[in-house]
Amino acid sequence: MSEKILIAQSDDRQRQTLGDLLRQAGYFVLQAADLCQTAQRLGEYPALLLLDAELAVPDDHEPWSALARDCQMLETPCLIFASNGLNAVRLRELAPWAAGVIYQPGNGEAILSRVEAQLTIRRLQYERDLAQQMLVAKQRQLNAYRRSAAEIQGSLLPQRAPRLKNFRSAWRFIPCEQVGGDLFNLMQITEDTAMAYLFDVSGHGISSAMVTVSVYQSLSLHTGQIVKRPLEGPPFYEILKPAEVLHELCLEYPFERFEKFFTLSYLLLDGSTGEVRYSNAGHPPPLLVHKDGSSEQLSCGGPIGGQALSLL
């Protein structure tokens, strides 16, 4: 579709000549003979206004100022020219709001070049604004996804502490970003036993959070069988050792499947004896703090999850 160009010029012959030039170049031409007609035809949303400075009335500035406001409000660029011999400096003083000046109003080639340049600028500005709007909409959508993922991830945190003899528990979880690959859990799996784990999936954002949720489900008593394996006879279940749990996770989450790796520390807490069994898969080792204030690292384990490993 050809772009509309509005010519505002009082001289009928000059206006018609300029209109013919633009039509031959493929543009759709609108015409106005005074400022009142120009204001009316701006309502047809031309892509460009070619304005003759001769229409400015020296003793009445209001119509000229109103035209400037209309062009700015409608975002219609204006190229001003002078059929009465005004120089470029005076034209810019007369219409500082105009997008540019046509210096040779009698040169058809110069006019078409200036018009095409201004319309190209307008198209690029439109494409830029459209791209910005799309980016803003995409960012809003992404933020909504992140908020949703953060809410889901937050719901995976332990809701209450296990009731075990010889153990008391407390925690605080502060993620570095809104959503990511970090998570921990503390859950009672039998009357006398609880498990605790802390893991970190590589990377940040929604993709890491999705792997986090998947690992969480694999370690769930309801959706997975890695922590507590069913048996046919009494007691009808077997609690896997920490090293066995991490080995099963490594087999279930090879790097080639998700292009992600994770580190994890896994502990079993025995409330009847106070014993803690643990193993690590590349994670910074937990600290065991004794009553006298001394501490030691629980560093037994193997490499990160997502690789072939042999755990202690």
Q: Which residue has the tokens 């921990």?
A: 184
- Any idea what the CATH number is for the domain that residue 88 is in? 3.40.50.2300
> Are 82 and 196 part of one and the same domain?
no
Residue 19 pLDDT greater than 90, yes or no: yes
For position 311, what pLDDT does the model report? 33
Answer yes or no: is 309 within a domain: no
Same domain assignment for residues 107 and 15: yes
Distance (Å, rounded) from C-alpha 183 to C-alpha 180?
9
269 and 208 part of one domain: yes
* Model confidence band, residue 178 (pLDDT cutoffs 50, 70, 90): low
Q: What is the pLDDT of residues 43-102, one digit of tens each?
A: 999 999 999 998 987 767 888 999 999 999 999 999 999 887 777 788 888 889 999 999
User: Is cis: bond before 284, omega within 30 of 0?
Assistant: no
Q: Which residue in 11, 12, 97, 107 sits closest to 49, CA to CA? A: 97
Share of the chain above pLDDT 70, in %: 92
How many Å apart are CA 197 and CA 81, to the nearest integer?
76
How high is the mean pLDDT of the chain? Answer: 85
Residue carrying structure tokens 């002078």: 82
The SS3 call for residue 211 is helix
Give the pLDDT score at 57: 73
Q: Within its chain, how far is the Cα of 158 from the centroid?
A: 30
User: How confident is the model at residue 48, as a pLDDT?
Assistant: 96
Q: Are residues 21 and 84 in the same domain?
A: yes
Residue located via tokens 């991490």? 246
User: Which tokens in the block code for residue 179?
Assistant: 């959503």
pLDDT band at 176 (very low <50, low <70, confident <90, very high): low
pLDDT digits (tens, 9 = 90+) for 240-294: 999 899 888 888 887 777 677 888 899 999 999 989 999 988 888 888 888 888 9
Mean predicted confidence (pLDDT) in 145-157:
78
d(CA 240, CA 223): 16
Q: Which of 128, 144, 164 is the last residue of a domain?
A: 128
Radius of gyration over every alpha carbon of the chain, rounded to an integer in angstroms: 37
Cα distances (Å, whole numbers) of residue 71 to 12, 18, 47, 125? 23, 21, 11, 16
For tokens 């790796």, what's the residue? 261
Task: Count how many residues are written for the chain.
Answer: 312
Give the mean model confidence (pLDDT) for residues 209-231: 84
Mean pLDDT value of segment 32-53: 94
Question: 216 has which bridge partners?
Answer: none
Instruction: Indicate whether 48 and 182 sit together in one domain.
Output: no
Model pLDDT, residue 306: 38
Arithmetic mean of pLDDT, 149-160:
80
How many domains does the structure of the chain reveal?
2
pLDDT over threshold 90, residue 182: no
44 in helix, strand or coil? helix
Residue 308 confidence (pLDDT): 32
Here the CATH number for the domain that contains residue 200 is: 3.60.40.10
Residues in CB range of 221: below 8 A, 6 or more apart = 187, 189, 227, 228
Residue among 248, 256, 255, 306 at smallest CA distance from 282? 306
Question: How confident is the model over 130-157, as a mean pLDDT?
Answer: 85
pLDDT of residue 46: 96
Answer yes or no: is 141 within a domain.
no
Q: Tokens 């070619």 identify what position?
A: 50
Highest mean pLDDT among 45-54, 173-182, 229-238: 45-54
**Residue 154 and residue 226: Cα distance in Å, rounded?**
23
When pLDDT is cut at 50, 70 and 90, the band that residue 175 belongs to is low
Whether the predicted pLDDT of 26 surpasses 50? yes
Q: Which domain holds residue 166?
A: 156-302
pTM for the model: 0.56
Same structural domain, 171 and 250: yes
pLDDT at 16: 95
Judgement on whether residues 167 and 115 belong to the same structural domain of the protein? no
Using a pLDDT cut of 90, give the percent of the chain over it: 43
Together in a domain, 173 and 102: no
- Are residues 122 and 189 located together in one domain of the fold? no
Of 24-33, 195-204, 255-264, 278-287, which one has max mean pLDDT?
A: 24-33
**pLDDT reported for residue 268:** 93
The answer to whether residue 140 is domain-embedded is no
Asked if the model's pLDDT at residue 300 lies above 70, the reply is yes
In a domain, 263, yes or no: yes
Indicate if 285 and 170 belong to the same structural domain: yes
Same domain membership, residue 105 and residue 170: no
